[in-house]
């Protein structure tokens, strides 16, 4: 059941509604860390009911690495991480002395490339309203969304939903073409307690209630005012269980002079800062210490994952598999039970997608699609012209769109 207070809030928002136009609108909601199979859990029952009214992608394959900022920017731009420039949540580059951390684009947009959906909307005469989508408060091509919020994780979920409904309730001609929402609670709980822990299930149940309230408001608008509002639920990655007793202590790894070492939890990247630093000796030392716990990625490995030819890739990368992660100090006082960032071949990394609304097919299940398919399909829905260079033509996800 939707809480009475939330129903009252929706009722208050409903009193603001006016007759809306029939221009299409998409509400794009990200549930960070929502693994592909979570939709079949009892805690997701409302979202599963919503999915039955539209199209469900069972497994949404991720870009590499399967991390929050690379995944969200790939969903938003239609580019791989080496295309939009955000190759991890934290990374460096061989062509600049500073390093990127989550949200750096707000102060320094030079980290970012591509044309995210909200910028594409604005460039083509529409209105975009974003709420916490990673880097949506950064100026791409010197342009910001009409409405945006700087990230504040303390903002209650109901406030995010309420704001989205208010945007959708704007008068004819003012309603956004694109609204984005972002929820991180499932990811946070599963990192701390594990992907199948009771706390993770509680976080899923809360998001399930929020999404149900949002869809109820959208459905009312569509039915009563003949609006043309659509909802798409996505996640950036899944989550794998990790075992603290198997963690790899980064303090035990080589750290020779002339290299910058960056721990990405599932992998460690070395950037050669001094051109005279001996990378072959470093590679040999890492190989000798591996003992089956990790592997050094080859050029062929990186090419297969489309992770090459960019100054942020680094000069040497080692990578582990679940249930291991790299962590300073190893597993001592571990408060980490779930992790992502592994290759897409690890099934637990798969994300999910649900698309519902007047122009999406109903009662349809697509076994598999890719994050890069989202951009061209959203652009098609909103009748936007896509920029050159996007990776996908929509792939299997094109089946979600109804024929004209």
The pLDDT of residue 23: 77
Residues 175-199 have pLDDT tens digits of: 999 999 999 999 999 999 999 999 9
For residue 129, give the 3-state DSSP assignment.
Answer: strand
Q: According to the model, what pLDDT value does residue 114 have?
A: 98
**Exposed, middle or buried: residue 18 (CB in 10 Å: 0-12, 13-18, 19+)?**
exposed
Task: Give the pLDDT mean for 84-93.
Answer: 98
The yes-or-no verdict on residue 174 having pLDDT over 90 is: yes
pLDDT at 53: 97
C-alpha–C-alpha distance, residues 276 and 278, integer Å: 6
Q: Are 304 and 297 in contact (CB under 8 A)?
A: no
CB 79 within 8 A of CB 321: no
Domain ranges (residues) in the chain = 4-240+344-400, 244-336
Helix or strand holding residue 319 (H, E): strand 316-319
Q: Which of the residue ranges 20-24, 60-64, 287-291 would you say has the lowest mean pLDDT?
A: 20-24
pLDDT digits (tens, 9 = 90+) for 332-375: 777 899 999 999 999 999 999 999 999 999 999 999 999 999 99
β pairing state of 248-249 and 326-327: parallel
Report the distance separating Cα 193 and Cα 213, nearest Å.
Answer: 27
In this model, does residue 65 exceed pLDDT 90? yes
Supply the pLDDT for residue 17: 35
pLDDT at 19: 36
- The CATH label, of 3.30.1360.180, 3.30.300.30, 3.40.50.261, 3.90.1150.10, for the domain at 244-336 is 3.30.1360.180
Distances, alpha carbon 335 to alpha carbons 242, 303, 312, in Å: 11, 34, 29
- Rounded CA separation 4/39 (Å): 24
Selection from 138, 231, 236, 136 nearest residue 184 by Cα: 236
pLDDT at 15 over 70: no
pLDDT of 325 strictly over 90: yes
308 pLDDT higher than 60: yes
State residue 404's pLDDT score.
Answer: 57
**CATH class of segment(s) 4-240+344-400:** alpha beta
pLDDT of 242 above 90: yes
* Identical fold between 4-240+344-400 and 244-336: no
């Amino acid at each position: 059941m939707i809480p009475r207070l939330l129903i009252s809030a929706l009722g208050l928002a409903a009193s603001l509604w006016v007759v809306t136009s029939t221009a299409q609108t998409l509400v794009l909601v990200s549930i960070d860390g929502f693994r592909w199979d979570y939709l079949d859990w009892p805690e997701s029952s409302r979202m599963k009911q919503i999915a039955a009214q539209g199209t469900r992608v069972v497994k949404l394959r991720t870009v590499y690495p399967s991390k929050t900022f690379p995944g969200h920017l790939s969903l938003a731009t239609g580019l791989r991480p080496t295309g939009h420039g955000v190759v991890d949540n934290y990374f460096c580059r061989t062509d600049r002395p500073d390093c990127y951390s989550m949200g750096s684009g707000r102060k320094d947009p030079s980290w970012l490339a591509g044309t995210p959906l909200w910028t594409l909307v604005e460039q083509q005469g529409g209105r975009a309203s974003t709420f916490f989508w990673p880097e949506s408060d950064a100026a791409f091509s010197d342009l910001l969304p009409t409405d945006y919020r700087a990230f504040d994780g303390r903002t209650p979920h109901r406030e995010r939903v309420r704001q989205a409904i208010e945007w959708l309730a704007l008068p004819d001609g003012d309603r956004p073409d694109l609204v984005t929402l972002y929820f991180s609670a499932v990811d946070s709980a599963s990192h701390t307690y594990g992907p199948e822990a009771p706390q993770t299930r509680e976080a899923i149940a809360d998001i399930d209630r929020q999404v149900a309230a949002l869809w109820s408001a959208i459905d009312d608008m569509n039915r009563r005012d003949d609006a043309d509002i659509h909802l798409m639920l996505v996640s950036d990655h899944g989550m794998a269980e990790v075992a603290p007793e198997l963690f790899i202590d980064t303090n035990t790894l080589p750290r020779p002079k002339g290299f910058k070492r960056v721990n990405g939890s599932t992998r460690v990247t070395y950037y050669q800062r001094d051109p005279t630093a001996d990378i072959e000796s470093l590679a040999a030392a890492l190989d000798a210490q591996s003992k089956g716990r990790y592997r050094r990625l080859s050029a062929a490995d990186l090419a297969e994952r489309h992770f090459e030819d960019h100054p942020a890739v680094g000069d040497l990368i080692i990578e582990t598999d679940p249930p291991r992660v790299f962590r300073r100090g190893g597993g001592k006082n571990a408060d980490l039970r779930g992790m992502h960032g592994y290759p897409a071949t690890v099934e637990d990394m798969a994300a999910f997608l649900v698309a519902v609304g007047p122009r999406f097919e109903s009662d349809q299940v697509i076994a598999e699609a890719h994050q890069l398919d989202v951009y061209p399909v959203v652009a098609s829905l909103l009748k936007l012209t896509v920029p050159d260079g996007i990776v996908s033509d929509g792939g299997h996800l094109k089946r979600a769109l109804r024929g004209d």
